[in-house]
Amino acid sequence: MITHLDKEVAGIEPWTEPLYDTLRINWLDLGVKYNSIPFQSDVAIIVTSWHGHLLFLKAVLTSYRMTGKFVVCAYDQPYDCWSSEGGHDCFMPRVKVMVLPHAWVFKHSTYDSDKRNGWFWDIKYAGDIIRQYSNFKYVFCCNGDCILEKPDGIPELITILDDADLMSVSSEKDKIIHTCSVIFKMDAFKAILDHMTERMRVPVLGAQSPERMLTEGVKLLGLKEKLAPKQPLYLDGTVDHYTCYNQESTWKDVIGYRNLWSEFKMCFEERKEPVPIEYVDLYNDGVYFRDNEKNLLFQYYKTRDRRWLYTYWDRAEIEWYDRLFYPLEHYGPEPIYEKE
């Protein structure tokens, strides 16, 4: 597990050690302990992300740093010719977020099917760096909106993987292996990365989805997939690949896995309680919220007055004719702080 000093170096806790006090920690100590940090773990964690994750990225990267494993954040190219002027806070992680992983990679700009192309190239950039290190035996990949509430559970996940080559948070045998979160043995990761690279070498409009390429690669390469013993399920018994309701699963039991964006979306669509405030970054007066969220949901997070949440639910109905535009005072003249 991560030490107190590690937490200070990562900015998780305030720095308290006087750097120039020779009786305590100093720059030489830090150099000996951290300058060769990629060699100090047998697990590399790749967190794939883009500016749409900034609302959760601080909490998410904190959870991965708390694993004590080597963490790389593969961040989609934040700027292009239409967004390079101004609006920096909306696209780039701030300093307190930048110090959380051990390293960052930024891919080139990609277009068309951004989510699909972006995921592959994030993995490609980070993976080609990680595969150069002989000490990494496992690679854990996860999206930047998926948090671990039990970051010390990675060794148990490896135990469950056993002699298999890879295991995903959710998978349907011979149909689809989802890429929200996957743990690989290094040799299997290299083989899959090479397979995907060949598929993506020549651009095709509507490029292959990560799930399709991963599922196809496992079959063609003869890799051994381990199905997670407990799959996240909808009420009808089908697999919920996005764990929208924070339901039970092996990933939740072992590492406390939660897909924050999916839960956030359910709050919008089904009047669910929103993602806990400790996982939401309220930086710079809610700059990471979209307009409709900033005007209503952000105000709830900021004030904890549930009247803002109720108005957000009313105006978030999927069909326009179901939306209600009551004023805040419709729910009473005084703030409501207790859940009804």
- Please give the Cα distance from 198 to 48 (Å, whole number): 20
pLDDT of residue 85: 59
What is the DSSP code string of 62-102? HHHHTTTSEEEEEE-----TTTSSS-HHHHS--HHHHTSSS
Structure tokens at 331: 């729910």
- Residues of the chain predicted below pLDDT 70: 17-24, 83-88, 114-115, 206-207
| Residue 2, helix vs strand vs coil | coil
Closest CA to 57 of 30, 20, 93, 108: 93
This prediction has a pTM of 0.94
pLDDT of residue 317: 73
CA angle 142, 46, 44 (to 5 degrees): 120
Q: 13-49: string of b/e by CB count within 10 Å (b at 16+)? A: eeeeeeeeeeeebeeeeeeeeeeeebeebebbbbbbb
CB 225 within 8 A of CB 161: no
- Yes or no: domain 36-264 corresponds to CATH 3.30.1490.20: no
| Residue 116, helix vs strand vs coil | helix
pLDDT of residue 24: 67
Count of helices and strands (H, E) across the chain = 15, 11
| Cβ neighbours, 10 Å, residue 277 | 11
For residue 228, give Cα distances in angstroms to 47, 99, 231, 260: 20, 32, 6, 20
Structure tokens at 220: 């063609």
Domain ranges of the chain: 36-264, 289-331
Percentage helix, strand, coil for the chain under 3-state DSSP, each rounded to 5: 45, 15, 45
pLDDT of residue 170: 98
